[in-house]
Amino acid sequence: MSIIFNAPFVLRLKKKVLFSILSFSLFALSAAFLPAIAQSGTLQGNIKQDTVKQENTQRQAYEKRGKFEQAIRNSADLEIDGLIVDETITKIGRDFYQIFQRQWEPPAMAKNFTILIKELPARGNGALIQVAVNDQDIMEQQVQPKYDFIEEVAIYATGVVYEFLVRDQLQQQLEAEGKKARELF
């Protein structure tokens, strides 16, 4: 008489036998070596020493992470410093943007600013140009399609943005010192 086993049954049987052999061998190894380690006293001494090393390692990792985060902040400051964003639609807006970009020279002390030049639809042949610095609207002007007029408004806009950034920087310095700026009327 022969016994026929199906494949899933054999696989389950092999897994159970293998698991029981591994668990028995681990138990035997731990039973053999644990008393020897406990008698030598190295287990207790290593625990205290490891916790001290672990605390020092954690402090060093925290200090390194702080330096790394500061380096990332500094590099991010350099990458996006003085960005001019163009959201114009027509040739009038594009001309305004190009003239503004050619004329623009940021103040030496200004950092972390973004200038947004946006064009909105207007009635007739003109365009409505908006200039914003750090999401704060600075100027809004109706512009005619004459190049001389576009150039004049763009140069005026560079002066307005420059003055805004200088005042903003001064305000930040005064706030850092704990003082308030005087209101100009």
User: Over the stretch 109-154, which tens digit does the pLDDT of each residue have?
Assistant: 888 889 999 999 888 888 999 999 999 999 999 999 999 999 999 9
- The per-residue pLDDT for range 50-107, each reduced to its tens digit, is 555 566 676 676 666 666 666 666 655 555 678 899 999 999 999 999 999 999 999 9
**Whether pLDDT at 10 is above 60:** no
Q: How far is CA 72 from CA 97, 109, 110, in A?
A: 31, 21, 19
Q: Are 158 and 166 in contact (CB under 8 A)?
A: no
Residue ranges covered by each domain of the chain: 51-79, 82-184
Integer Cα distance of 157 and 117 in angstroms: 10
Instruction: Among 38-52, 133-147, 152-166, name the one with the lowest average pLDDT.
Output: 38-52
Both tokens assigned to 30: 């731990």
What is the spatial distance between Cα 103 and Cα 101, in angstroms, rounded to a whole number? 6
Reduce the secondary structure of 43-93 to three states and give it as a string: HHHHHHHHHHHHHHHHHHHHHHHHHHHHHHHHHHHHHCCCEEEEECCCHHH
Q: Which CATH architecture has domain 82-184?
A: 2-Layer Sandwich (3.30)
Residue 156, both tokens: 């005026």
- pLDDT at 170 (0 to 100): 87
Local structure of 136: helix, strand or coil: strand
The structure tokens 């964003």 sit at 85
